[in-house]
Amino acid sequence: MAQYTGVPVSPGRVIGTIRSMAPPVAEPPAKEALPEGADREAEASRIPAAASAVQATLGRLAERAQGEARKILEATAQMAADPSLTQTAQGLVHSGGKTPERAVWEAGDQVATMLEGLGGYMAERATDVRDVRARIVAELRGEQAPGIPESEEPFVLTAIDLAPADTATLDPERVIALITSDGGPQSHTAILARQLGLPAIVAAKSIHEFADGTEVFVDAGLGTITDEVTEEHQHFAEAWAELQRNPLTYEGGGGVLGDGTRVRLLANIGGAKDAAAAAAANADGVGLFRTEFLFLDREDEPGVEEQTAAYAEAFTHFPGKKVVVRTIDAGADKPLPFLTDAEEPNPALGVRAYRTSWEKRSVLTNQLDAIAAAAQSSDVKAWVMAPMIATVTETEDFVSLCRERGLEPAGIMVETPAAAVTADRHLGACDFASIGTNDLTQYTMAADRQLGSLAHLNNPWQPSVLALVKATCDGARTAGGDPEAFGESANKPVGVCGEAAGDPGLAVVLVGLGVNSLSMTPRSLPAVAKVLSTVTLDQARELADRAVAARTAEDAVSAVRAGLPILGELGL
């Protein structure tokens, strides 16, 4: 028996056979050449044959894919059929005596460099060329092609990590669970898994000890993988399979606890398209509107009119409902050429988010003007908050800017331990707080959330992180509130909009700590609502106490899951 542990990022319990993603194709040695007297014509002829095989494989994958994924695969298949790559490679075999593998590698570099020099759309095709090059080399060597393996049967995918391009071929009908040895809870792999509702574990360092074909039980809620499959595991897996056949639904109106306590269940969005999907999922509003979608990949700041139109379009999907708008969160992993310093030695601890307004005030004031105009043209209940707040002076400054524009309520993101432990003073100066558990965890644990090697630290179940959530809620009670003004409790409202809110077990803990609203990816709404319905507020508080008092994050998870039998019944 072997059991390995990683960081859980998307719950679910399954039994399946492991299939490993092939590692990146190694570059053939630069001096690799054909032996003296080799038949160069025969060797060169292997290249178009390998390219045709790659084209056929990509074509089959495209036929099974949908939407944008299908377009990506079809375009890549066309690139494999492009004679410019194969003819260039064949020339290197004939004239230079290169091996077919080395010739394809060098020819791919030449074609990609040429496309990059053309700029624009053609430059974007350079990545496709290098992908095709690697696939042809793998075909010539008789190796597994890079990317997700083909299999007629559903399987558990293991990988070092998924590149963004790999996600185009990730079919949840075939991949029933995803386990990576690298990556972290906020990696694109983890985000994709949550969006798909795919059981997933990251940072499982020893997962590759399991050979392909090994049958395993994956508990993606606990973060464990074992090759000893028991009857209890079969029961859990059957419960998860039944949940997939008959998924839970959410009709809106908030999560209602067993004693009638109601918790708002909101959605995280990044623009109008996301807002439409969230509304279709019956979210009770928006708990996090990430406005930086409009700023990314641009050399210049978008104008007030453009911003106003974009925000107003998103607002149309939630008439009469609460939409919490976060002002631009630039910096760290989201640098902007017109706002942030690319040369900062430690951008996660640098001039990011609200702090960019210290030197470039107009970017923030222009955005607030646009939000105010968009709110006035719609009937949403627009709440506005600033990210990366550390001092009460910063809170007071931001609130004053909002008040000048008639933007109320005005609040802050609690992402720094400084804001959490002085929450009573912050909430005395603003109207509400929203806890960003992703950043709060990284700053509490002093662990860069982009580093897979620190993924075990970047876990929102860390008792120290939960203690800071409690401190924030305690501060809200001290500050008091005005339920008539904002339709919340008598305390200043505290929400959670980080990934932690979408974990059904952790959602119970957060409510028990005093959180008023939870915001998540829309797919998580039904499960969170269902699990909340099985506990009273007193029971949630008891489970929260257990989690905060736990010795480790793993102990906190185990203690809470032991008190929530519904998770096992649903296979979560």
Domain closes at, from 110, 141, 172:
141
Structure tokens at 307: 């911003």
Residues 238 and 156 in one domain: yes
Residue 23: the pLDDT is 76
Integer Cα distance of 204 and 189 in angstroms: 13
Task: Tell me how many domains the chain contains.
Answer: 3
The DSSP secondary structure of 509-522, one letter per residue, reads: HHHHHT--EEEE-G
Q: How confident is the model at residue 117, as a pLDDT?
A: 74
456 is known as an active-site residue? no
pLDDT reported for residue 296: 75
In a domain, 250, yes or no: no
Same domain, 399 and 297: yes
Same domain flag for 234 and 354: no
pLDDT in tens, 489-523: 557 999 999 889 999 999 999 999 999 999 999 99
In a domain, 26, yes or no: no
Residue 152: partners with Cβ closer than 8 Å, 6 or more residues away: none
Which residue type is seen at 393?
T
Composition of the chain by helix, strand, coil, percent to 5 = 50, 15, 35
Domain assignment present for 136: yes
- Residue 556 CA to residue 238 CA, distance in Å, equals 26
Asked if residue 29 is part of any domain, the answer here is no
Distance of CA 438 to the CA centre of its chain: 10
Q: Helices marked H in 316-445 — which ranges?
A: 361-376, 392-404, 417-421, 423-429, 437-444
Q: Which domain holds residue 395?
A: 255-564
Whether 102 and 13 map to the same domain: the answer is no
Same domain, 184 and 212: yes
Cβ proximity of 10 and 187 under 8 Å: no
Whole-angstrom distance, CA of residue 280 vs CA of residue 547: 34
- Exactly one of 402, 430, 473, 497 is catalytic; which is it? 497
Residues 223 and 343 in one domain: no
| CATH code assigned at 190 | 3.50.30.10
Residues 6+ apart with CB under 8 A from 350: 331, 332, 341, 344
159 and 101 in a single domain? The answer is: no
End residue of a domain, out of 202, 225, 245: 245
Whether 197 and 264 share a structural domain: no
Q: Which residues of 1-33 are buried (b: 16+ CB within 10 A; e: fewer)?
A: eeebbbbbbbbbbbbbebbbbeeebeebeeeee
- Asked if residue 569 is part of any domain, the answer here is no
For residue 367 the two structure tokens come to 């955005």
Q: Which residues contact 293 (CB under 8 A, 6 or more apart)?
A: 270, 271
Q: Identify whether residues 259 and 222 lie together within a single domain.
A: no
pLDDT block averages, 10 residues each, the chain of length 572: 88 95 84 87 91 87 69 78 86 90 90 75 70 89 81 91 68 91 78 85 92 95 93 94 93 95 95 94 96 80 94 96 92 65 73 84 94 95 96 97 96 97 96 95 90 85 97 90 53 90 96 96 95 97 98 95 93 90
Q: Which of 189, 219, 245 is the endpoint of a domain?
A: 245
CATH number at residue 478: 3.20.20.60
Collect all residues with Cβ–Cβ distance below 8 Å to 385 and sequence separation of at least 6: 324, 325, 326, 327, 410, 411, 412, 413, 432, 433, 434
Assess whether 229 and 364 both reside in one domain.
no
Q: Mapping DSSP to helix (H, G, I), strand (E, B) and coil, where does residue 412 land? A: strand
Catalytic residue check, 497: yes
What is the Cα–Cα distance from 175 to 162, expressed in whole angstroms? 13
- Asked whether residue 209 falls in the same domain as residue 303, the answer is no
Tell me, yes or no, whether 571 lies in a domain. no
Q: Is residue 33 part of a domain?
A: no
Whether residue 298 is found in the same domain as residue 220: no
Looking at residue 108, which CATH number applies to its domain? Answer: 1.10.274.10
**Catalytic choice (94, 188, 235, 430):** 188
d(CA 221, CA 571): 9
